[in-house]
Chains A and B, each alone.
Chain A
């Protein structure tokens, strides 16, 4: 029996986006394979349930990423921070944010654990600017703000992120701001 158009389209989207979605989640979950697989599976089951009723959206990958991001945040908000290695300092974490990522899975988890504790828009802004390397002008359009307002909000968001990290780790860092 030939596949229906929705079924076929869902299979196409799956083939085109699955690996990118997996990488997106994995980078936020410190490559914890069991957790990443749970989240990716949940995203896809939600997608099938929604798309069969409303049809496949115009930007299916953006839809999948948005749902994945929410699930990751929900997961981290319910989690306590795992004990950290003694050499993980506040500065090390902030430098990792500044550089848009790190090789250390512990630090990666701590970054996303901390981002999940910021207000949604602040976390989204930091993630878009530092981790996704998107320019201020593009963010200004997305957030419907001026470039200067975005810069100001980024500055405040970095201060709040530092506070969350300091509180979580019980360690204080030297005072320095993260620069793009």
Chain B
């Protein structure tokens, strides 16, 4: 008995016949006719040329229809993303307008207004990003690509455009992290924020700076790939290295934070403020961060060694 995931012998035989006969017919009809007399040859040649033209037109039309259908499906997907990004941007604008009015009336603080301004700008970058992806599908008929070694499409560097937008978003986040750090520093100075909160804010700034720096590196790499200074393969490897280095910096920052937290929990544990579970959790955090760093370092060494 045939299993449910196996073809029936009849279908297998039928399709084999269909495939081989289709291949054979194609081979046969592609062969030119042998002329016996010049007039007959000319007539045949004209007939063959007309048939080939009709055939070629038919084939091209079919291929174009399939391509066009595929492209339409991709465009519909991107249109949904674009519409969503547009709605989010409109919502962020609306929220900013409300916050500006509350700020003017004195019911919202400067930090709330700054947050709303940042959300609106980030939403705008996301919208621009979605627009760039839509334009790429429109030009290439293929899904938008995000890998650093992708070629430019019709002379336009979509990957580079999106990296620029990501960089601008990262710079905004850095600015926000810096402002948050300043606020925590102030609260710490007056005794309203603890040492760990201060250190956490410092780590956030480091991570945001690292993200922006990584995007600068990726943009430089993209330029080198497009100018032909390095091959796509070399570029991909260097890109992985840039990403891994960024992840390493984040992990190192996480380790520093985990160590600080562990010190604090140890002190609190000695005075009975923190329990044994808190201590174990803090130790685990530190161990995890150490393990992550070791893994990343091994990967970076491997990437540097090359294939």
A66 at the interface (CB under 8 A from B): no
A115 at the interface (CB under 8 A from B): no
CB distance from A122 to the nearest CB of B (A): 11
Report chain A residues within 8 Å CB of B148.
Answer: 144
B16 adjacent to A144 (CB under 8 Å):
no
Surface stretch bound by A, among B22-30, B101-109, B193-201, B220-228? B22-30
B53 at the interface (CB under 8 A from A): no
Interface residue ranges of B6-53 to A (CB < 8 Å):
6-8, 11-12, 15-16, 18-20, 22-24, 26-27, 30
Residue from B7, B59, B73, B240 in contact with A18 in the complex, judged by beta carbons closer than 8 Å: B7
Chain B interface bracket (under 10, 10 to 19, 20 to 34, 35 or more): 20 to 34
Which residue, of B4, B147, B148, B244, has the highest number of chain A Cβ atoms within 10 A? B4
A94 at the interface (CB under 8 A from B): no
Residue from B26, B30, B247 in contact with A48 in the complex, judged by beta carbons closer than 8 Å: B26
Report chain B residues within 8 Å CB of A74.
Answer: 73
A18 adjacent to B16 (CB under 8 Å):
yes
CB distance from A73 to the nearest CB of B (A): 9
B5 adjacent to A23 (CB under 8 Å):
yes
A4 at the interface (CB under 8 A from B): yes
A148 adjacent to B247 (CB under 8 Å):
yes
Report chain A residues within 8 Å CB of B296.
Answer: 148
CB distance from B106 to the nearest CB of A (A): 41
Instruction: Using known A-B contacts A10-B19, A14-B19, A48-B26, determine if residue A22 contacts B240 with beta carbons closer than 8 Å.
Output: no
B283 at the interface (CB under 8 A from A): no
CA distance A74 to B72 in the complex (A): 12
Instruction: Using known A-B contacts A11-B20, A120-B143, A144-B147, determine if residue A41 contacts B15 with beta carbons closer than 8 Å.
Output: yes
Mark A94-124 against chain B: 1 for CB-CB distance below 8 A, else 0: 0000000000010000000000000111000
CB-based nearest B residue for A120: B143
B15 adjacent to A18 (CB under 8 Å):
yes
Residue from A7, A26, A149 in contact with B4 in the complex, judged by beta carbons closer than 8 Å: A26
B19 adjacent to A44 (CB under 8 Å):
yes
Report chain B residues within 8 Å CB of A145.
Answer: 147, 240, 243
A52 at the interface (CB under 8 A from B): yes
B299 at the interface (CB under 8 A from A): yes
Mark A1-18 against chain B: 1 for CB-CB distance below 8 A, else 0: 001101100110011001
CB distance from A160 to the nearest CB of B (A): 13
Q: Does more than half of chain A's interface fall in helix, strand or loop, or is it mixed?
A: helix
Residue from B11, B20, B149 in contact with A14 in the complex, judged by beta carbons closer than 8 Å: B20
CA distance A8 to B129 in the complex (A): 49
CB distance from B32 to the nearest CB of A (A): 15
B20 adjacent to A7 (CB under 8 Å):
yes
CA distance A7 to B18 in the complex (A): 12
Report chain B residues within 8 Å CB of A10.
Answer: 19-20, 23
B143 adjacent to A19 (CB under 8 Å):
no
A41 adjacent to B18 (CB under 8 Å):
yes
Interface residue ranges of B219-260 to A (CB < 8 Å):
236, 239-240, 243-244, 247
CA distance A6 to B260 in the complex (A): 69
A19 adjacent to B6 (CB under 8 Å):
yes
A149 adjacent to B18 (CB under 8 Å):
no
CA distance A51 to B20 in the complex (A): 12
Instruction: Using known A-B contacts A37-B11, A146-B240, A146-B247, determine if residue A22 contacts B6 with beta carbons closer than 8 Å.
Output: yes
- Please list 19 pairs of residues, one from A and one from B, whose beta carbons are closer than 8 Å in the complex, sorted by A's number: A6-B27, A10-B20, A10-B23, A11-B16, A14-B15, A18-B16, A19-B7, A26-B4, A26-B5, A37-B11, A44-B15, A47-B19, A77-B73, A120-B143, A121-B143, A144-B148, A144-B236, A144-B240, A146-B244
Apart from the given pairs A11-B16, A18-B15, A44-B18, 15 other A-B contacts in the complex at a CB distance below 8 Å:
A3-B24, A4-B24, A7-B20, A10-B20, A14-B19, A15-B16, A19-B7, A31-B5, A45-B18, A45-B22, A49-B26, A70-B70, A146-B244, A148-B296, A149-B243
